[in-house]
Amino acid sequence: MRFAAGYALIAILGVPAHAQEPRLAKPSLVLQQIVEGLPNDSKQAVRVLTATFKPGDKTVYHSHRFPVTVYVVEGTFTLDLKDRPPLTVRAGEAMVEPPNVAMVGYNPSATEPTKVVIFYVSTPDTPFLDPLHH
């Protein structure tokens, strides 16, 4: 009796019993920050990069000409900025690296890798970073 009632319900609804409505994907805000120094030319280059840092790996000592957003996918990322306190972000978090500030980024873990996604908007042909000397 239950079996027949189930088919009657399917016939009324017009959908198979196992079908489900697709759910709508909704974005989650990770970071919102007012920044200065974005390019204002008629055209900009948008770059999305990935990087993996083995335990203890560092970037070169450098600066950026425009703000750089770093999203940590896995592990922990620390940024030492000249004359400012260090910034540390963990998996699922993001930071904006300020333009024209000397810095070095690194994986502070002795055992776990760090994976990041980097988002950068600049004038076309601008290098991603400018190496600096200590």
Residues 6 or more apart in contact with residue 51 via CB below 8 angstroms: 115, 116, 118
CA distance 114 to 116: 7
DSSP type of residue 58: B
The gap from C-alpha 80 to its chain's centroid, in whole angstroms, comes to 19
Domain boundaries, the chain: 30-131
| CB contact set of 74 (below 8 Å; sequence gap of 6+) | 91, 112, 113, 114, 115
The predicted pLDDT at position 134 comes to 76
CATH domain 30-131 topology: Jelly Rolls (2.60.120)
User: CB of 65 within 8 A of CB of 100?
Assistant: yes
d(CA 102, CA 108): 19
Burial of 125 (0-12, 13-18, 19+ CB in 10 A): exposed
pLDDT values of the chain reduced to their tens digit, one per residue, 134 residues: 444 554 454 455 555 556 677 889 999 999 999 998 999 889 999 999 999 999 999 999 999 999 999 999 999 999 999 999 999 999 999 999 999 999 999 999 999 999 999 999 999 999 999 999 87
Answer yes or no: are the C-beta atoms of 117 and 30 closer than 8 Å. no
